[in-house]
Amino acid sequence: MPRVAGQIDHAKGRAILDAAMEVFAERGLAGGMEDIARRACVSKQTIYNHYGSKAELFRALANRAVDEITATLDLPGAVENPLEALTGFGRALLTRFVNPRSRVLTRLAILAATDMPELGVALYEGGPAASRRRLADFLRLENAAGRLNTPSAEHAAEVFAGMVAAPYQIASLLGVQFVLEDDDLLSVAREVAERFMRAYAPRAV
């Protein structure tokens, strides 16, 4: 079957990102474009054609993580069922701190902030800042529907993310190993979502 235009590029882009995660997990910031190219079975120029620079490659990795975290906010019926949507968001965010592979980007951002600030900025803007913006957009829809009352959607998005991440983030950044089973992840995320919705419930008239 002939491939649709753009399908090859999409496959290469995914292979490059997968390879980049593996290389950075193994070698940290010392991982180079040559290493990634070999792992992805593409040329170094192909990586630059797709992403332009190492900073943009980091941003693309962060964007992919954000797509995974915010996926439940875009599901059909998510706006009508904010508890489930927020629980899914929280669970996916919490998974980033539990899964050793998922911790890689966050720990690299800490290192990059000092040695390669442009990489730290790209990771922050493509990762945490982007996920909070998407969550804030979702909260505005809930405000408009009268299901929540968040005077500042941006602040409320930070509050929710902080409630989910705070107990685990420091341990994750310091490399402390801890285990949360799937049921634990769901339980923590749902409790946070329920508390958040009670805190920002519409005021009685």
Question: What CATH number is associated with residue 34?
Answer: 1.10.10.60
Host domain of residue 193: 54-199
Same domain, 1 and 86: no
pLDDT-derived band of residue 204, with 50, 70 and 90 as boundaries? low
pLDDT-derived band of residue 106, with 50, 70 and 90 as boundaries? confident
Question: What CATH number is associated with residue 79?
Answer: 1.10.357.10
Same domain, 10 and 30: yes
Question: Does residue 205 have a pLDDT over 70?
Answer: no
pLDDT-derived band of residue 5, with 50, 70 and 90 as boundaries? very low
Cβ neighbours of residue 18 closer than 8 Å, sequence gap 6 or more = 40
Same domain, 45 and 84: no
Separation of alpha carbons 36 and 33, rounded Å: 5
In Å, what is the CA distance from 95 to each residue of 1, 46, 54?
A: 38, 31, 25
Same domain, 141 and 102: yes
Same domain, 130 and 173: yes
In sign, the C-alpha dihedral spanning 25, 27, 29, 31 is negative
Same domain, 74 and 140: yes
Same domain, 16 and 66: no
Please report whether residue 205 resides in a domain. Answer: no
User: How many domains would you assign to the chain?
Assistant: 2
Cβ neighbours of residue 79 closer than 8 Å, sequence gap 6 or more = 85, 138, 141, 142, 145
Separation of alpha carbons 187 and 100, rounded Å: 20
Please report whether residue 193 resides in a domain. Answer: yes
Same domain, 115 and 86: yes
Give the residue-averaged pLDDT of 76-94. Answer: 95
For residue 26, the one-letter residue type is E
Per residue in 170-188, pLDDT (tens digit) is: 777 777 777 778 888 899 9
Per residue in 8-56, pLDDT (tens digit) is: 478 888 999 999 988 988 888 788 899 999 999 999 999 998 888 888 8
Please report whether residue 204 resides in a domain. Answer: no
